[in-house]
Structure 1
Amino acid sequence: MSNAYAEVIGDPIAHSKSPMIHGFWLEKLGIDAAYRAHHVTPDTLADYFAQRQADPNWRGCNITLPHKEAALDHVEDRGGLRQSIGAINTVLRDEDGILIGTNTDAAGFYTPISGLDLAGETVALIGAGGAARAVLFALKRADVGAVVLLNRTPLKAAALLASFDLKGEALPLDAPVPAVPLLVNASPLGMAGQEPLALDLDPLPNDAIVYDLVYVPLETELLAAARARDLDTVDGLDMLIGQAAIAFELFFGKAPPRDHDDELREALIS
């Protein structure tokens, strides 16, 4: 496997921690392969997949902003993800050289909160892009009662809720945060280089959980505000490591050593 490699693609991509995560696991398992970041712009996405499909050493790629929806046009959708989640974050090449899209985001998102009973509850979600689609897919499976979706374009948010057959309402970003047990940021707001996300969390109950998918910086303004209120929080590394673990096994044929997660988190934040 000495020339084997996988990648993460996006625009921008320099912030990605995926190479460190996969590299950590490759080293722990003694697998002679590589995982790297590759900058791909929207206008070069088709060329990227054509070139990688022809490379026998390429095991696949993870996909980050802004390609999670557009990448569906360049791969086979055997799992019906266009109709369900509407986005992919992982691409593999099968033994016949065919590129197949899949999504590990939904499972990665849900794992840290799998102990919660969200059945019948109303939750709040910020964002309506590819990551939000994976979150909504997971929330639908958790049988939530309704979703309040805050987005710059409420019309887009309303259409997204309808596409998942979820009850709720679509509101602008400056709308007050509802009193919900779970608030999730699935937008890039608050990420380094992006606009800040400043929300008044006072309406949240004292036992609410605030979950921010952003991981650069790890301590976002949203999470800092939640901790100032002594609310439970989940940071972006939890989802990042969870979805990466599923992709790693798909790429390299072995499950990652999750018993080293504490060591991995320390490496990622140092």
Structure 2
Amino acid sequence: MTRYAHVIGDPIAQSKSPTIHNHWIKVLGLDAHYDREHVTAGELADYLARQGDDPQWAGCNVTMPHKLAVMEHLDRLDPLAERIGAVNTVVRESDGSLTGFNTDAVGFLEPLADDLAKPHYFRMARVLGTGGAARAIVAGLLEQCITVVLAGRDPAKARAMLDELDPGGQHHVAPLNHFADATDFEFDDREGCFDLVVNASPLGMTGQPPLQLDFSHVPPGSVVYDIVTAPLETPLLRGAQDRGFRTVDGLSMLIGQAAAAFEKFFGVSPPRGDGDTELRRILTQ
């Protein structure tokens, strides 16, 4: 009785999810498999109805353009997915019902767990981008009591997102180009503080314009995090490393969100005792 799961989207050939999940399945020796399934918008409802009738189907990961549309076809939503307003993981429950989750926020926060377990006088994140990925990231950061500065091409969109996710919160918005020019702002003492700079946009991705960020906007001791996976070492991360900042690359979030979904699908934690070294090698070869 082989368990199986899918990743669905349109297009879907580019997804790295099968490589990640099948690596873990092989290492654990599970009687399971994980495949891509090309599903168009018009096929989404039929796909979910058909798969929901199969007790061996564990569920699916959901990529563009279905993260919003899938919600109306589910029986229930996890509170975080409802708050984010998007689903990237659908789980078939034992009674055949379908529950929607969003593991992007959990995956994003995973490499910051040690930092966030410590007490801080103040926590601030500068998040660049206002798309779907940014929304999940901001929702996760807000749960960690982090003050957010959200930058986008349209500051009104950034303000609307913050007001929806944390009404009355003391957060800030800025136009994206604010961070492109040098500043002479003198940061105060960052001892005991946690500062994070996140590229949550596609800028810097292969085929996209570069992200314009002057490092004078980055507080001393910051962690610089770029969710772009191609290239893995973006100009932002390379510039941060050259200046002595700690960096986190896009594979960290990708693997982290997949790990949360894997456990929901197959009921076991994925094998990650090597710090994902072998999986990273496979994904980048």
- Shared fold by TM > 0.5? yes
Which residue among 221, 226, 232 is the counterpart of 1:212?
226
Shift of 1:24: 0.6
Q: Which amino acid aligns with 1:265?
A: R
2:175 — aligned with what? 172
Structure 2 SS opposite 1:138: helix
1:160 — aligned with what? 161
Structure 2 SS opposite 1:249: helix
2:245 maps to 1:231: yes
| Superposed CA offset, 1:165-197 (max 9, x none) | 132222232222687921112223333344432
Contact 2:81 2:101 in 1 (8 A): no
Q: Find runs of 4+ consecutive structure 1 residues off by over 6 angstroms.
A: 177-180
| Unpaired segments ≥5 residues, structure 2 | 188-193
With normalisation by structure 2, the TM-score equals 0.84
| Superposed CA offset, 1:67-100 (max 9, x none) | 3233222212342345422222110111222111
Contact 1:7 1:62 in 2 (8 A): yes
CA distance in structure 2 between the aligned counterparts of 1:130 and 1:110, rounded to whole angstroms: 16
| Residues 1:200 and 1:45: Cα distance change in structure 2 (over 3 Å) | farther
1:125 — aligned with what? 127
Which residue among 114, 135, 138 is the counterpart of 2:137?
135
| Unpaired segments ≥5 residues, structure 1 | none
CA RMSD, Structure 1 to Structure 2 (Å): 2.4
| Residues 1:22 and 1:138: Cα distance change in structure 2 (over 3 Å) | same
Structure 1 SS opposite 2:8: strand
Worse-matched range after superposition: 61-70 or 210-219: 61-70
2:236 maps to 1:222: yes
Q: Which amino acid aligns with 2:263?
A: E
1:115 — aligned with what? 114
Shift of 1:153: 2.5
1:6 — aligned with what? 5
In the alignment of these two chains, the number of paired residues is 268
Shift of 1:251: 0.9
2:267 — aligned with what? 253
CA distance in structure 1 between the aligned counterparts of 2:32 and 2:245, rounded to whole angstroms: 41
CA distance in structure 2 between the aligned counterparts of 1:44 and 1:196, rounded to whole angstroms: 36
Larger radius of gyration: 2
Q: Which amino acid aligns with 1:122?
A: M
